[in-house]
Amino acid sequence: MLDLSDLVAISNGDNRFVQDMLRLFISSTDAGILSIKQASEARNWDQVAEQAHKISSPCRHVGALRLYELLKSIEKRVRAGEQDEPVHSLILQAAQEAEHVLSQAKAQLR
């Protein structure tokens, strides 16, 4: 779920800024989730943690808090040496949540 209130507040009424930030969020999150999936399949856990970290902050800024929490959990578990099934399950959940959130973001652009 998206909550754009913080983004709108910092935009000072600049709708173009909000639209640009949403476009950037969509492209970076889509690419980041794909990268996380590919890195986990290759068992490149450092890359998984790095990508989860990289795309988590933008999720918080657009109010996608569930996705943010999932990404932070992935990052934390991987950095703690927990991999394989628990992390794969979180990645699947994050991918599903990202699909939902990105759909909402795209609808906001229409």
Instruction: Name the residue with higher pLDDT: 32 or 8.
Output: 32
Q: Considering its fold, how many domains does the chain have in total? A: 1
Helix runs in the chain, H state only: 5-11, 15-41, 45-61, 65-79, 85-109
Residue 1 near residue 13, CB atoms below 8 Å: no
At 7, the amino acid letter reads L
- The domain that holds 67 is classified in CATH as 1.20.120
pLDDT band at 85 (very low <50, low <70, confident <90, very high): confident
| Structure-model confidence comparison of residues 6 and 72, the more confident one | 72
Sign (positive/negative) of CA torsion 62, 66, 67, 68?
Answer: positive
Give the range of the structural domain holding residue 35, as residue numbers without chain letter.
Answer: 5-109
pTM score, two decimals? 0.93
